[in-house]
Amino acid sequence: MPRWDQLSASEMELLQTVFWSADSSRHMLADRLDCSKSKVNALAAGLIEQGLLVETGLRPSSGGRRPETLQLAQGLGVVIGVDLGATSLDVAVMTPDLRVLARHSEDADVRVGPGVVLARVRELTRELLVGCGMSPKQVIGIGMGVPGPVDFETAQLVNPPLMPDWDSFSIRDYLAEAFTAPVFVDNDVNLMALGELWRLQRGLQNFMVIKVGTGIGCGIVCHGEIYRGANGSAGDVGHICVDQNGPRCHCGNTGCVEAMAAAPAISRRAMEAAQSGESATLAELLAQNGKLTAEDVGQASRNGDATANAIIQHAGSLIGQMLAAVVNFFNPSHVFIGGGVTQIGPLFLASVRQSVYHRSLALSTRHLEIQYTPLGGRGGLIGAGALAMQESLRLQGAKP
């Protein structure tokens, strides 16, 4: 068990605040906690003595003695982050301040069902812990992202289109048999947003993370918190219509942005261009690899292939058209774009931007930043770790 079982509510609150304010001085922490600096001093001294907080570098002084900043200590234990994609599995052991101690990534197929996939998660977690010289007892919490809609309270998937066998399966109960630490599950793109929120230390209050991969989803940060909506399905932007005469989507409607601009649509268009003789470069890549991925299209584009460029611009423009509607409604300060399709290169981002700025109102876009996710491919894992820390601290802090 983590070594915080005996801590007071005030001590837990200080740990939570430190987690969300890395490298803050005692003075800044007192401000955030709305209490006196002497109280923070006393609490921090106790926690440092117990090995749960450490003093780190010194912040630049604003006159007088330079104040020491505080950080969560490794003595607290470790968190496990699991990032499950439709076709990939990523597991990491992290320190309480989300440094990755050990990480393993491999291909996976969620369609084989929860039994097989979660057995592998359990196995990888054990191996990684052994590799770090840690025991399962030192695990503070486990956070896991999954590519489907999640009921956050019960940690169950709800009608997940990509992984029907997982419907109502309790990931929490399964992992609870192997680990005593609490298990928290959320949608993968919500965790990418949580990861960025943590990286920013809540410095931005209202932003979105769009993931473009096999599907298209969106994590929303509103008033400085992850927003999940009335039924946990907020951010389901993949089925926003961008062309009423567009192709039929697996959801039953026509012209969904996901059906027209996600990775499978990009591959399909590239295959057509290769087979019709429209693009010699794509035809060559197809002959080499037996298939064409979004990354192949990106490579052809970087080699100057005009057809590949057109495919990328079309996808970016459709995604931008969807984003324009969402930006008019939500007026975020930032839109971060992540997921596999970001590997495709800068032309994709440029096309998204052009389309959003063209279609959204000046007032919504005057200060709007659209960029690739700063955490990149680590976003889902860092978010899973942040979920594990945040919710474990909250759970423990709420105990009587």
229 is an interface residue for a second copy by CB under 8 A:
yes
The 327-346 contact track toward a second copy, x by CB under 8 A, reads -xxxxxx-------------
As a dihedral over the C-alpha atoms of residue 391, residue 25, residue 375, residue 353, rounded to 10 degrees, the angle is 110
Tell the smallest beta-carbon distance from residue 126 to a second copy (Å).
35
Place of tokens 């860092």: 382
Residues 175, 118: contact at Cβ < 8 Å? Answer: yes
90 is an interface residue for a second copy by CB under 8 A:
no
Range 264-279 burial, b when 16+ CB lie within 10 A, else e? ebbbebbeebbeeebb
361 is an interface residue for a second copy by CB under 8 A:
yes
Contact residue for a second copy among 6, 62, 133, 231 (CB under 8 A): 231
Tell the smallest beta-carbon distance from residue 167 to a second copy (Å).
12
371 is an interface residue for a second copy by CB under 8 A:
no
Place of tokens 């012209």: 255
Tell the smallest beta-carbon distance from residue 177 to a second copy (Å).
29
The 192-221 contact track toward a second copy, x by CB under 8 A, reads -------------xxx----------x-x-
9 is an interface residue for a second copy by CB under 8 A:
no
Q: Which is nearer to a second copy, 19 or 207 (CB)?
A: 207
Q: Which is nearer to a second copy, 81 or 339 (CB)?
A: 339
CA atoms of 76 and 79, how far apart (whole Å)? 10
Spatial CA neighbour of 346 closest among 333, 337, 359: 337
Quote the DSSP letter at residue 73.
-
Tell the smallest beta-carbon distance from residue 149 to a second copy (Å).
6
Tell the smallest beta-carbon distance from residue 81 to a second copy (Å).
26
Within its chain, how far is the Cα of 190 from the centroid? Answer: 6
3-state secondary structure at position 139: strand
Positions 96 through 155 that interact with a second copy (CB under 8 A): 149
Q: Which is nearer to a second copy, 229 or 346 (CB)?
A: 229
The stretch among 50-58, 138-146, 195-203, 235-243 that binds a second copy (CB under 8 A) is 235-243
Q: Which is nearer to a second copy, 182 or 232 (CB)?
A: 232
Tell the smallest beta-carbon distance from residue 110 to a second copy (Å).
18
CA atoms of 193 and 191, how far apart (whole Å)? 5
The stretch among 2-10, 54-62, 359-367, 382-390 that binds a second copy (CB under 8 A) is 359-367
For residue 42, the cross-strand partners are: none
Positions 242 through 281 that interact with a second copy (CB under 8 A): 243-244, 251, 253
3-state secondary structure at position 211: strand
Q: Which is nearer to a second copy, 4 or 166 (CB)?
A: 166
Spatial CA neighbour of 162 closest among 176, 143, 148: 148
Contact residue for a second copy among 235, 380, 383, 385 (CB under 8 A): 235
Which residues 6+ apart lie within 8 Å of 185 measured at CB?
143, 144, 145, 146, 150, 152, 155, 156, 171, 172
Query: Which tokens belong to 18?
Result: 């430190």
Q: Which is nearer to a second copy, 261 or 324 (CB)?
A: 324
The 290-329 contact track toward a second copy, x by CB under 8 A, reads -------------------------------xx-xxx-xx
For residue 256, the cross-strand partners are: 241
Residues 143, 387: contact at Cβ < 8 Å? Answer: yes
Bridge-based pairing state of the strands 369-372 and 225-227: unpaired
Sheet with 225-227, strands from edge to edge, namely: 225-227, 216-222, 207-212, 334-338, 369-372
Residues 316, 370: contact at Cβ < 8 Å? Answer: no
Quote the DSSP letter at residue 63.
S
The 152-191 contact track toward a second copy, x by CB under 8 A, reads ------xx--------------------------------
Query: Which tokens belong to 306?
Result: 């005009």
Contacts with a second copy by CB under 8 A lie at 149, 158-159, 205-207, 218, 220, 222-223, 225, 227-237, 239-241, 243-244, 251, 253, 321-322, 324-326, 328-333, 358-364, 366-368
